[in-house]
């Protein structure tokens, strides 16, 4: 049902178009043109103005039969290094040439939705109502979906094509995440002449971090320090340091407990040395969880059974636009497209899984 060669060609063409986060315009313009060439009306919101992107979210409604309207969504941006990607076919996989990421996250998702939709329109096949939502600036904060104009959307359920792993992967639960931005304020003094009069923000921050439980906390919770930064001359006791950290959990209770633990460690250490800490906490996205018997999951499983694909329901350690859709009252699950090693130079896409998920998308649109 899906033209494998055209799907591969589409993906390789898409990843060659630069679209690092905040710079999605060229790719966005191409997608708009391709949707318009299919005879569809395309809308864009004004999200880019709010989040310093040169593009906006794309929305397209395709009228169909029945009441089973669904969102089909993926994001247009890629992480760095994503300039001048050169995709290569290699033993059943698509890889980059090793100098950049591949961009399967998430241009594989865009390709899957576009190819399924193109096939249906070309063949003039009966289909369900389809809502296309392609977002900007997903990487680093889900900012496109957070600023999407939800008044445009009619569907109450949908699919996001943005999970790594083999085809058949259904993300039935995903975590909440909080981000901590911390400024540690000490006291400057001459490091050689009177270091006793100084309060080293570096020492305070380092000791606070050393007292924290980090990385894998339990099977539902993780925590990580991403940035510890301070700059200054070696002959000055450094008065300022900056820390960025995150906490994720499938449990809101555990999320709060771990966050409070990290805050307490910072505040107690600062008090010990008569330093100060300024802590800003951002709620990035909420958790979602669906039962294995949920109707939307059963819908996907039925499509997979028809194609001989074994469904595998599992939780994820990362968030996606599905979390934000859920927050806005749209039941959405994330599906695996065959990608591996996302956000690294080793990123690859298994072609067989990629093609199979495009076929799943086609069935979801038509069954």
Dist CA 331 CA 157 (whole Å): 5
Give the model confidence (pLDDT) of 290-306 as tens digits.
999 999 999 999 999 99
- Token pair, residue 63, equals 């009228």
Place of tokens 């934000």: 324
Residue 138 annotated in active site? yes
**Burial code of 214-233, b = ≥16 C-beta within 10 A, e = fewer?**
beebeebbbbebeebebeee
Q: Which of the four pLDDT bands, split at 50, 70 and 90, describes residue 193?
A: very high
Catalytic residue among 115, 131, 138, 299: 138
Which is it for strands 42-44 and 58-62: parallel, antiparallel or unpaired? antiparallel
Q: Which of the four pLDDT bands, split at 50, 70 and 90, describes residue 1?
A: confident
Catalytic residue among 24, 45, 77, 106: 77
Give the model confidence (pLDDT) of 106-125 as tens digits.
999 999 999 999 999 999 99
Residue 80 has a CB neighbour count (10 Å cut-off) of: 11
* DSSP codes of every residue in 206-230: HHHHHTS--EEEETTEEEEEEEEE-
For the cut 90, the answer to whether the pLDDT of residue 255 exceeds it is yes
Instruction: List all residues 6 or more positions away from 124 whose beta carbon is below 8 Å from its beta carbon.
Output: none
Residue 267 annotated in active site? no
Place of tokens 């957070």: 146
Q: How many CA atoms lie within 13 A of 305 on its CB side?
A: 7
Question: In terms of Cα–Cα distance, which of 168, 116, 223 is closest to 333?
Answer: 168
Segment 80-108 shows an average pLDDT of: 97
Residue 166 has a CB neighbour count (10 Å cut-off) of: 18
Residue 182 has a CB neighbour count (10 Å cut-off) of: 24
Q: In the chain, what are the domains?
A: 4-174+287-366 (3.40.630.10), 176-285 (3.30.70.360)
């Amino acid at each position: 049902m899906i033209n494998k060669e055209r799907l591969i060609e589409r993906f390789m063409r898409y990843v060659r178009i630069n679209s690092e986060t905040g710079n999605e315009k060229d790719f966005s313009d191409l997608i708009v043109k391709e949707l318009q060439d299919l005879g569809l009306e395309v809308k864009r919101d004004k999200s880019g103005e709010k989040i310093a992107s040169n593009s906006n979210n794309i929305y397209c409604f395709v009228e169909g039969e029945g009441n089973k309207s669904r969102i089909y969504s993926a994001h247009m941006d890629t992480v760095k290094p994503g300039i001048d990607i050169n995709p290569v076919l290699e033993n059943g996989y698509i890889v980059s040439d090793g100098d950049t990421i591949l961009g399967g996250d998430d241009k594989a998702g865009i390709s899957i939705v576009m190819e399924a939709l193109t096939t249906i329109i070309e063949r003039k096949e009966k289909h369900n109502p389809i809502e296309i939502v392609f977002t900007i600036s997903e990487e680093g904060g889900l900012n496109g979906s957070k600023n999407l104009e939800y008044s445009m959307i009619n569907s109450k359920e949908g699919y996001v094509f943005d999970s790594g792993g083999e085809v058949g992967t259904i993300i039935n639960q995903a975590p909440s995440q909080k981000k901590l931005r911390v400024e540690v304020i000490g006291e400057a003094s001459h490091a050689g002449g009177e270091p006793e009069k100084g309060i080293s923000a570096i020492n305070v921050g380092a000791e606070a971090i050393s007292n924290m439980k980090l990385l894998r906390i339990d099977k539902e919770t993780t925590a990580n320090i991403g940035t510890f930064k301070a700059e200054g001359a070696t002959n000055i006791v450094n008065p300022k340091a900056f820390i960025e950290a995150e906490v994720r959990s499938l449990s809101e209770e555990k999320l709060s407990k771990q966050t409070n633990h990290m805050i307490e460690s910072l505040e107690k250490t600062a008090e010990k040395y008569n330093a100060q800490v300024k802590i800003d906490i951002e709620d990035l996205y909420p958790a979602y969880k669906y039962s294995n018997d949920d109707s939307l999951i059963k819908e996907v499983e039925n499509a997979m059974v028809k194609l001989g694909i074994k469904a595998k329901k599992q939780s994820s350690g990362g968030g996606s636009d599905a979390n934000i859709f859920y927050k806005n009252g749209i039941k959405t699950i994330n599906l695996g497209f065959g990608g591996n090693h996302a956000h690294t130079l080793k990123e690859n896409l298994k072609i067989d899984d990629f093609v199979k998920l495009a076929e799943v998308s086609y069935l979801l649109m038509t069954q």
